[in-house]
Structure 1
């Protein structure tokens, strides 16, 4: 009953943002149609969209959907388009939405109150911390940004809170990736298009007639899109961004400034060649993705040959993930130094494509370890920490590989990281990082041997709480396993660590008494 729907979008948040734009349009259709059958169909559409919005469990999307509907109603009321029959339809729509909330509102209500709401209270602080990091990123690259689509790659060095692929603010993300001038141009474009709309409404009110209802509904929808991008990066999602800009184009057409262009033949040919080329390039990206998925599906621990992985990398050679997948495949079946060198070479190629990503250094370090080159592995782990100071995997690996004085420094660094905002403020706190448990067990054993039983008990209890919390979020652990984020061998080690922590905790408590 607490599941959140997301349809064809990658997350419930994006689906909620899409529905927040659609909902005022459904309200507009409800007022615009005069036929009782058309109004009944519009009412059904309104109720279905409302139910879907509740099922996403997205609080900000609901807030902006309500605001956008109020904006639509305010514009209709101001321009004397909210007649008594339409006011009655509005009341029916509200009742319909309430019924849908009773039927399908559990995912949302559970996030507004109760235990789930307490668990999700991190959302706003996480966003604020992410905005702070994004502003630091903008300050470092104010004019040109870091490059289109590079937020996920460039952000870790500026991150204040936990990892994220988006800035959770479309305006800040645009400024970070393309520079402040690009943000100014986009905002100016939105203002110009809206100005054209209001000019057209003023000059052509009698001509437009009741069609103004849908214009005001579209204004409500656009307002939802504008507001949503203060707390999410919806403009970066094609399913939302295309609709947002299309609605702005329709609104600008109301002003009469949009003309039907009849370009010359040579211009049409150039544009057609350009779009055909763009389609071909996009198709190769999709084909590379398909080949990579086929390879992953066929692998399942069997030596299927590297051909499918190689073809995916050849089709999409600028995608570092393709080379990493090929390297991981080679590493699974590597048996000679030449095999390991080939696998490491693929990772190095991926690292050259995305030189600021720590994950390629981590993959390279693991391969060097398995090859038996410990010092090279240590060098890669150190470099990974320079690229991402929050890389706990590198900290734990160095704590295990370095001699004792330096090893303890790394374990202590892990405990410091555990108390940092980066660890405490996460977009998905249900994905619990188990690396800190190893540091707690290390210091727990040290204190136990020195006779500080109460201190040892605190460390063992911290390890137990973290590992059991990780098991508590079983659904998220299953999702992480499906995404390849969990190593089955590591899971066995963590189960053994949990059992050992419980045994040592009982021993420490016994001696402390």
Structure 2
């Protein structure tokens, strides 16, 4: 049967329909980009379920996933014209993205922490969907310009949040504060800023009306200042690298392809003003960065920690070279290969991809990057089009390429690819590069017999539609579960335990692989004096995610109830997952003691002392926060030595315990310490510190070292005074 002839009128209708659907899909990508860019700053989208967590932090990413899923369905309904030129890198990049998502999905099935793997897969699919929707909107320059504006707006809003945060801390007497702006660490915020800053700069250079120049100039200034206030040295270095790429791209994008002609226009004067503006902001915000550079101890800690983390991540990747350990599994699989303390990410996005998805995943990712860069470079060579509504299209492409290059460089030192905000911004940039490249082929003459493959087009639309449905179902379920979790957290803030329990039950029934609602329900049941229900919740948490964290919580609760045999079993299993976890080791040693297994307990304490002298104890992710658990181990061994009547062995142990626990007490009011050390842990460490000082003073006096004993006794008196004042202040606050 012959195919019906396609008339010019039907082709026009098809083109108009495709343009409308693609523009609608691209429009849905914009709120998704804003949501995730501003509120998607948690690593692997795992915000902590605590009373301080906001609703938007919980639902931003899954809500964006639903929006992108709807956009992909609209995109799949668009029937493209048969006579249309396509850049080879456009289709290749789309196929490679699909292959990467499929491979990641296959590797999610084998992940030890299935919930984390599914969330990472949803984030990656959402990001890929954002890129697809933006690239498909290439026929609508207004939609593409709106995406550019949205990217600059993300950078501007984050910069405003960061400046407000810094000013608050500065007024509170903390001028060395590093800004977070809702991201889990300042380095991730720096990764977003270096992606957007070059685009803002090129928009500043190329817009025409004065009001836009003033507004974008202000955004450029505060974005530059916020980047410096993150105090990310590698972020600044990545921006410098991006600046080199920006200069080359802007030179190449000069008018009429005459290199250097841009320097003789008003845009050249604007470029000089831009450089002056950035330098002024650099001088204003240089103080905190210079101060951190001068803190050579912290700087060496940071560099050494990264290098040793890379070694552990490389060992992990080499142990599973082809399949990896599973998507989203780094923080639960890495501890077995670690040579330093705990970290949630590899501090290198490419290395983490290789560790989790194997060599095939890394190869697919690098090929996608090459395709996007190739599309951007080719887009620079196209002539200027008058239908572009926002600045100079080629200068915008230069800014996009520069931000893309800076982000890729920053990923070599931090796992930005696993932060939803960073990944979605990067994907939006890729989508814009491909869209502009596709626009450059709009007027390319085609042979009269040219037809796009009908079957391949149907297959592509089907794949996009399936991806959209998967996002709607998966992210819709995650959105519902997190909404109930948010309701539960709100009930906890209102001290309504029963309503919180109902909400967490619903959350766990919708998302059965998330252990957090079970763990929160266990806390509530424990506070209601219902140990049976609490124990059931904890066991359900282990079934949902049989990882170290859930087994540790179960073991601690069993130990508190006196079930030492089951507690030992749970804590030993937790130790298998994370051999260097200090809380697990302390809890296991304590249970061994309760069970009368003193030798086993002392073996754990000695192991902790060895860890303290190894890179695990000496090189920490946050040197500002002392690992107080080592002090407890030293104190326990000192106590055993005193019982064995070996004071010569006890004294150095007491000194080490005093040094560690004393440092924790001295830094007790630091914000990072308050965030990372719970009040229960602080009480335990303080009680042990008092005992250590008392025993050390007595032992020194008994051995005739009176002056040293008096100094320790003075420290003990000062500690007791400070502790009494702190207790009185806490009681006043509670009243």
Residue 425 of structure 1 is matched in structure 2 by 619
Residue 61 of structure 2 is matched in structure 1 by none
Pick closer, same or farther for the CA change 1:299–1:160 going to 2, 3 Å.
Answer: farther
Residue 165 of structure 1 is matched in structure 2 by 344
Contact 2:354 2:361 in 1 (8 A): yes
Rounded to whole Å, the distance in 2 between the matches of 1:90 and 1:436 is 55
Residue 315 of structure 1 is matched in structure 2 by 510
Contact 1:21 1:225 in 2 (8 A): yes
Match of 2:540 among 346, 349, 353: 349
1:211 deviation in Å?
Answer: 2.8
1:72 deviation in Å?
Answer: 0.7
Give the alignment of 1:115-134 within 5 angstroms.
117-134=296-313
Residue 390 of structure 1 is matched in structure 2 by 580
Residue 43 of structure 1 is matched in structure 2 by 217
1:450 deviation in Å?
Answer: 6.9
Rounded to whole Å, the distance in 1 between the matches of 2:484 and 2:610 is 41
Pick closer, same or farther for the CA change 1:76–1:258 going to 2, 3 Å.
Answer: closer
1:374 maps to 2:564: yes
Contact 2:608 2:633 in 1 (8 A): yes
Residue 491 of structure 1 is matched in structure 2 by 682
Contact 2:515 2:550 in 1 (8 A): no
1:121 deviation in Å?
Answer: 2.9
Q: Tell me how many residue pairs correspond in the alignment.
A: 499
1:110 maps to 2:300: no
Rounded to whole Å, the distance in 1 between the matches of 2:308 and 2:501 is 42
Residue 147 of structure 1 is matched in structure 2 by 326
1:37 deviation in Å?
Answer: 4.2
Moved more, 378-387 or 10-19: 378-387
Rounded to whole Å, the distance in 2 between the matches of 1:62 and 1:52 is 11
Contact 1:316 1:322 in 2 (8 A): no
1:502 maps to 2:693: yes
Pick closer, same or farther for the CA change 1:428–1:137 going to 2, 3 Å.
Answer: same
Pick closer, same or farther for the CA change 1:274–1:221 going to 2, 3 Å.
Answer: same
Residue 135 of structure 2 is matched in structure 1 by none
- Counterpart secondary structure, 1:224: helix
Moved more, 132-141 or 70-79: 70-79
Rounded to whole Å, the distance in 2 between the matches of 1:237 and 1:439 is 36
**Unaligned ranges ≥5, structure 1:** none
1:455 deviation in Å?
Answer: 5.0
Residue 180 of structure 1 is matched in structure 2 by 359
Match of 1:242 among 408, 424, 431: 424
Residue 192 of structure 2 is matched in structure 1 by 18
Deviations 1:315-337 (A, max 9, x none): 32220122122223223333xxx
1:188 deviation in Å?
Answer: 0.7
1:287 maps to 2:483: yes
1:54 maps to 2:228: yes
CA RMSD after TM alignment: 3.0
Moved more, 465-474 or 452-461: 452-461
Pick closer, same or farther for the CA change 1:61–1:287 going to 2, 3 Å.
Answer: same
1:28 deviation in Å?
Answer: 0.8
Pick closer, same or farther for the CA change 1:444–1:279 going to 2, 3 Å.
Answer: closer
Rounded to whole Å, the distance in 2 between the matches of 1:346 and 1:321 is 10
Residue 77 of structure 1 is matched in structure 2 by 251
Contact 1:330 1:343 in 2 (8 A): yes
Deviations 1:4-56 (A, max 9, x none): 22223232111111111111112212321344443333322211111111122
Deviations 1:270-314 (A, max 9, x none): 6664454244223223224313423442449x7777323323322
Contact 1:143 1:181 in 2 (8 A): yes
Q: Which structure is richer in relative contact order (CA contacts within 8 A, separation 6 or more)?
A: 2
Rounded to whole Å, the distance in 2 between the matches of 1:153 and 1:81 is 55
1:449 deviation in Å?
Answer: 6.6
Rounded to whole Å, the distance in 1 between the matches of 2:339 and 2:406 is 28
Contact 1:16 1:61 in 2 (8 A): yes
